[in-house]
Chain A
Amino acid sequence: MGDALFSVHGVVFNYDRHTAIDDITFTVNPGEFMGIIGPNGAGKSTVIRLLAGFLKPNKGFVAFSGKNLDKYEKRELAQNIATLPQATETPFSFTVEEFILMGRYPYAQKNWLYEKKEEEFVEYIIDTMEISHLRGRTIDTLSEGERQKVFLSQCLAQDPKALLLDEPVSHLDIRHQMQTFDVLEKLHSEGLTIIMVLHDLNLAAEFCSRLMLISKGRINADGDPKTVLTFQNIEEAYDTVVIVKENPLSGKPFVVPVSRKYLGK
C-alpha cells in the first residue's frame, strides 16, 4: 500500500445478483486529479460510493491512508473524505450558511448548536468560494450553477484530504462548467486529491491528470489522458466510432463521436 491515499484491492460488488464491479484493483496517490469515465451502467458511480464508504465490497477491500474504510468512525471518515453524490435534494429551505455549516458536523463538539469557530470556518469558505452574494438566500431559490457552488462549499467545509464527485458538471452550462473546474483546479493546486466521475470525455481529458476508463465493472484503461483516450479504447468501451484529435491549445486529446451515416455499411 505504501503512502497511497486510496487502495482498492480485488473489489467485487454486487447489487442483488447483478455484478456491478468485477474484481478491480488500483491505488490513488495524494494530489492526483483523477477522472473516472465509461459508458452508462459501467459502474462509475458504484466506484465512487465504494471509495466513499457508502457501499461495502462483497469481496476485497478499500483502504484510505492505509486503513480499511470499515475501521473508520463515520465522523472521522467525513473529516478526510468529502463526497458530492449526483443528486442532493432536501425538501426544506435551508439558508446558504445553514447548508454549508452542515459540512462542519464532523468537527462539532457540542450536541446542540455549532461553535463560533465552526461558523468562522464557514465564513472563510464563503469568501474563498466567492459566494458572499448568496449569503442569506435559501438553497431552493438558487440557480443550478449557484447551487452547485454551495454544495461544493459544503464539501470544502469538511476540510477534506480527498474530494469525490459524481458527475458534478453534467447539468451545468459551459460557463458554469468552466467555473467549477477553475475552482477544482485551484483546490487541486493547493494539494486536494480529487476523484470525479465524468461523462464528458473532453472535459475529462482537459482537466484530469489521470483517467480511468471502466466498462462492465472492469478497468479497461488507466493512465494519463493521452494513453487512455485512444480511439481503440473508446470504441471498445462505448461501442461507438470516434475520431480522436489533439486540442491545439492544450495538447490534450479531444474526442468526436462519428454518426453511423458517415460509416457506410
Chain B
Amino acid sequence: MRRKQKSVVVLTILVCLLLVSILLSLAYGKGIGVMFHSFFNNDGFGLILRKIRIPRTIIAFLVGGSLGVCGVTLQSILRNPLAEPYTLGIAGGASFGIALSTIIGFQRIFGAFANPLFGFGGAMLSVAIVFALSKKRFFDPNSMVLFGVVVSLVFSSFVFFLFSLLDPDKMQTTLMWLMGDLSSLDIAFIPMYIPAFLIPTSILFFFGKELDILSLGREKAQYLGVNPPRFYKGLFLLSSLLAGLCVSASGIIGFVGLIVPHILRNIIGAGHTVLLIASYIGGAFFLILSDVFSRYLLYPVELPVGVVTGILGGFILLFLLIRRK
C-alpha cells in the first residue's frame, strides 16, 4: 500500500515544520543560541521565555492541534468537509458566557480566570442544550447540526443584546477575545490545560476506523458493525469538550479546524487513522505560525490570532477551491 510510505514521509515533514514553528515562536528576534543561553540563565529574556513565550507556544500547540482533530472528527460524522469545531453551537454559547461575565463584572472577582471559566461554561451550556434536543433523534447528525446552528444563533443574538447594554470601553477585551486571542491567558492555567486537552485528544486518536466507516452514513455504518448512535454521542461529546476547552483558552479561532484537515486529506488521503494524527501536528503548526505572524506582522501592534488564521486560512482555502475546479 503506497499510501503508507507517503504518510510516513508527510508526518515526518509535518513534525519538522512544527519544530521550526516552535523555535520561531520562542526565539524570534533573538536567535536560537541566545534563546538556549537565556533559558538556562536568569536574564531578562529568560524571564520573557518562561513567563510569556513558552506558555503561549504551549497553548497555541494544544489549541491548534485540538482544533485540527475536532475538525476531522466532525467532518466525518457530519459527512461534510466544511464542518468545523464550532458547528455545534459552541462559539455562540462561549461568547454568551463571556459577554455575561463582562456585564455582570465577574472580571473584578475572578480576574484573568473570568474569560476562560465563563467561556467554557457557556460552551458547555450550548452543548448541553444541543444534546438534550438531539436525544429524541438518537443523535442523528443532521438534526444535531440544525440544533447547533439555531442554538448558536440564539446565543449570538443575546451577545449582541448584552453588547448593546455595555459601554464601549468594557467591550474591548471581550471583542479581542471573541476574535481569538492567545495573549491574555493566565499562565496558571497551563498545568491544568495540558492534561485537560491531551486526554480527550488521545482518546479521539483511537477512533480512526470508526470515523472512516461513519463517513459512509448511518445506515451503511451500521451494516459494517458500528453502532452509530453510540459513536455519534461519544464522539460529539469528546469533540465538543475539546472545542469548548479551545474556546476557553483562546477565544474563537476560525479556519484551523477547516483548512488543516482539508489540505492534509488532499496530500495523505482520507484514511482517518493517519489523518487525525497529521491534523493534530498540522493544526499545531498552523496556529503557532499564525501566532508568530500575529505578534510581528505589524509590530509593535499585536493582532488577534483569529484574524490572522481567518485571513491566511481564508485565502488558502479559496485558492484551493478555485484550483480544484
Residues of chain A in range 75-120 having any CB-CB distance to chain B below 8 Å: 75, 77-79, 81-83, 85, 88-95, 97-98, 102-103, 105-106, 108, 111-114, 119
Interface string of A49-90 (1 = CB under 8 A from B): 100111000000000000000000011011101110100111
Rounded to whole angstroms, the CA-CA distance of A78 and B222 in the bound complex is: 8
A12 → chain B closest CB, angstroms: 21
Residues of B near A98 (CB, < 8 A) are 3, 212, 269-271
Question: Which of A53, A79, A95, A108 is most buried by chain B, counting CB atoms within 10 A of its CB?
Answer: A95
In which size bucket is the chain B interface?
Answer: 20 to 34
Asked if A158 lies at the interface with its beta carbon under 8 angstroms from chain B, I say yes
Interchain Cβ contacts within 8 Å, total number: 90
Residues of A near B1 (CB, < 8 A) are 95, 97, 119
Q: Which residues of B contact A (CB under 8 A)?
A: 1-3, 75-76, 79-81, 205-206, 208-209, 212-213, 215-217, 219-220, 222-227, 265, 269-271, 273
B244 → chain A closest CB, angstroms: 25
Given A91-B81, A119-B1, A136-B2, 18 additional A-B pairs, CB 8 A: A53-B222, A54-B223, A74-B222, A74-B226, A77-B225, A78-B223, A83-B223, A88-B216, A88-B220, A89-B79, A90-B79, A90-B270, A92-B76, A98-B3, A105-B224, A111-B206, A112-B206, A154-B224
Residues of A near B219 (CB, < 8 A) are 49, 54, 85
Residues of B near A52 (CB, < 8 A) are 223
Residues of B near A111 (CB, < 8 A) are 206, 209
A168 → chain B closest CB, angstroms: 14
In which size bucket is the chain A interface?
Answer: 35 or more
- Determine if B213 and A102 form an interchain contact, defined as CB atoms under 8 angstroms apart: yes
Question: Sorted from nearest, which 8 A-B pairs have the closest CB atoms?
Answer: A78-B225, A92-B270, A106-B225, A75-B225, A83-B223, A111-B206, A74-B227, A94-B270
Rounded to whole angstroms, the CA-CA distance of A54 and B224 in the bound complex is: 11
Rounded to whole angstroms, the CA-CA distance of A179 and B265 in the bound complex is: 33
Closest partner residue, chain B, to A75 (CB atom): B225
- Determine if A85 and B220 form an interchain contact, defined as CB atoms under 8 angstroms apart: yes
Closest partner residue, chain B, to A155 (CB atom): B223
Residues of B near A154 (CB, < 8 A) are 224
